[in-house]
Structure 1
Amino acid sequence: MLGTYDLQSKALTSTDFLKFYQAYITTYTKADKRVLTASLKKFKAYLLDRHGKDKLQCKELTQNLIIGYKDYLETNHTGEGPLTYFNRFRKVVKYGLRENLFHKNPLPENLKFKSGGMNKGVLSLDEVKKLANTPCGNETIKRAFLFACNTGLRFGDIKELKWQHISNNELLIKQNKTQEVNRLRLNNNALKLIGEKAGPKDLIFPLPSFEGSTKTIRNWVTRAGIEKRITWHSARHSFATNILLLGYDIKTLSQLLGHTSIKHTQKYLSIADERKVQAVNALPDLGI
């Protein structure tokens, strides 16, 4: 019996990890499937660029190779991107462990990513106002992004937002990512941005693809003279950071973002603190 298991184990460790990765994605049904797919694309690019490989057996997935992938992500991406892609990669490896694809866990322990990158993609209140006053190539994308800056909603939730989700100036929607119901009172900015009311099943923001929307946002930000790497998710980060800078507490912010745990909200505290330091240091020299 033991010999049979050993033979099976050796066969499994010879499995092509990239094919396993793709098979995992094919059957995956959660809301972050798009990010999971992108994580495979990043890992393939890393293997080809750094190791000249387009195939990888599970037994070849070593700790050093994984550390190299982490470094590759941090070299080629900013903000939360490296950690986001790596977390999806880690999810696939852990599933592979449960399927006996590895003799031992190849994931390094206590692997830390560089901090502070997300701050580069956060818009101040003045910068949000500057964007509002700058023409955009797509008016729907402009309104939707500014709506996200005023509500903290993710792209997927805004893309599927319908008039039936809004009643008496209050938004009630089940979040795609967490499946948690988020209830939010809309401010005057948000109410102006949604426009004239239509049918209950009509989309409020009929947006193009995520990639197309992101490209339009990049061009819009450049046109506004803002020298930051802004993605769609920057709207959510900006909303959260600015709420804290306005003096509201972490528990209130957690509820506004629809987080399932306050620990997911705490990352914004360090960004807000860093912004406060920047603000103080920006005061002019008095020549004392």
Structure 2
Amino acid sequence: MSVKLRERKLAKGAVKFYLDIYHNQERTYEFLDIKITPSDTKEAKAEKKKIANLIRSNKELELITEDTNYIPKHLKNIRYSDYADSYIKSYKKRDIRMIEATDKRFRSYIKNERFKLSDFNPAIIKGYMDYLNDESGLTGDSPHNYFTRFKKIIKSAIDQNLMKANPFKNIRFKKKNNQDELRKQVLNTEELQKLSLTYCGNEELKKAFLFACYTGLGYAEIKELTWANVANGKLITRRAKTNQKVEIKLKDSLIKLLGKPKGIKDLIFDMTSKNGKTISDNGVNKCLKNWVGRAKIDKHITFYCARHTFATQLLTYGANLKTVADALGHTNTRNTIKYLNYIDSLKDEAVDKLPDLIL
């Protein structure tokens, strides 16, 4: 194993440093953001080379201690906030908003901007898990989703050898029993009919939400849905989150709800505000809240609840678990089981309401 500091000559007499690393019978190169230019003073050149040599020494120490529990001092001092800021800045995947949100939640939980990567331990992780479940105000699957995204941040630090131990080892996220919570987020047949007869401040949103309750589409799909996605009485599209194909037969009443078809590239629902911008999730949910309240339905309903409603309606009227999973665009039935549990709980309630035998 060796780590050598080398120089690369650039144009106009400049020099840039890089590390020549030979480790585990592989040679790699790591370029440093340190450059000496002809205009630098003698002192500046010496200082830059000194910094480059220090980086070389730290890298060598990291590799030497790679398979031990020893954490070099320069790694012990890395703050979680600094690392998370860097991770988020370079993150390019579609769930970036969830990554940002879970980072914000963790900082709120830990309340210490000086908290370091080396301070992590299983107790901190379990505490954050309990915080997401009990104190964060999150509902449904959100605590689990936040926890999963948080693991991605920490796993990245582990992969870069910035943490020697995995604080998530042997820890599995435990969901709360959320049957009562799910009940607040699901509309039954009677409530759907009541909503269809109730005035909504935005008629286009009213159509879109009711359509979602009978197709399971999320707002991300609804606002991008074109007439090309509706053909021969069927909806054919893909889930924005998983890219899983969804093909659903549309009831005649639903086709009537959509109105007269337009061009295949035209959007089915005009989800724009008066200023021409797409209505935000918050704006949509605020309008839904007013509409649901006007219908005198005492439930916390957001646009995402349309998926819950669609799933439970299918199960209530006899669909099997695999059919519901396919209709929702789930890659397997694991995420669909919660709806089956909810339906089972309704059956239990119905049995409890049966009159007793007279013995």
Q: For the superposition of Structure 1 and Structure 2, which TM-score range results when normalised by the shorter chain?
A: 0.7 to 0.9
Instruction: Tell me, yes or no, if the aligned pair for 1:162 and 1:202 is still in contact at 8 Å.
Output: yes
Equivalent residue in structure 1 for 2:107, among 44, 48, 52 = 44
Equivalent residue in structure 1 for 2:230, among 166, 181, 190 = 166
Any unmatched runs of 5+ in structure 1?
none
For 1:103, give the aligned amino acid: K
Any unmatched runs of 5+ in structure 2?
2-59, 272-278
1:24 pairs with 2:90: no
State the Cα distance separating 1:284 from its structure 2 match: 6.5
Distance in 2, matches of 1:29 and 1:189, equals: 41
Distance in 2, matches of 1:275 and 1:29, equals: 42
Deviations 1:87-136 (CA, angstroms, capped at 9, x unpaired): 22122222332222321111251331212233331221222222222222
Give 3-state SS (helix, strand or coil) of 2:237's partner.
strand
Report which of the two structures shows the higher radius of gyration computed on alpha carbons. 2
Instruction: Tell me, yes or no, if the aligned pair for 1:80 and 1:118 is still in contact at 8 Å.
Output: no
Distance 1:262 1:287, change over 3 A: same
Give 3-state SS (helix, strand or coil) of 2:214's partner.
helix
Residue in structure 2 matched with residue 266 of structure 1 by the alignment: 337
Distance 1:40 1:242, change over 3 A: same
Instruction: Tell me, yes or no, if the aligned pair for 1:13 and 1:103 is still in contact at 8 Å.
Output: no
Deviates more, 1:207-216 or 1:109-118: 109-118
Q: Which has the higher contact order (CA 8 A, sep 6+)?
A: 1
Residue in structure 2 matched with residue 140 of structure 1 by the alignment: 204
Residue in structure 1 matched with residue 268 of structure 2 by the alignment: 204
Deviations 1:218-237 (CA, angstroms, capped at 9, x unpaired): 22222222222222211101
Residue in structure 2 matched with residue 149 of structure 1 by the alignment: 213
Distance in 2, matches of 1:177 and 1:219, equals: 28
For 1:80, give the aligned amino acid: D
TM-score by length of 2: 0.71
More helix by share: 1
Residue in structure 2 matched with residue 109 of structure 1 by the alignment: 171
Instruction: Tell me, yes or no, if the aligned pair for 1:9 and 1:100 is still in contact at 8 Å.
Output: no
Distance in 1, matches of 2:160 and 2:183, equals: 38
More strand by share: 2
Residue in structure 2 matched with residue 79 of structure 1 by the alignment: 140
Number of residues paired by the alignment? 284
TM-score by length of 1: 0.87
For 1:16, give the aligned amino acid: R
Q: Percent identity?
A: 39
State the Cα distance separating 1:55 from its structure 2 match: 4.5
Instruction: Tell me, yes or no, if the aligned pair for 2:144 and 2:173 is still in contact at 8 Å.
Output: no
Residue in structure 1 matched with residue 149 of structure 2 by the alignment: 88
Distance in 1, matches of 2:143 and 2:281, equals: 19
Distance in 2, matches of 1:133 and 1:19, equals: 53
Equivalent residue in structure 2 for 1:97, among 158, 173, 197 = 158
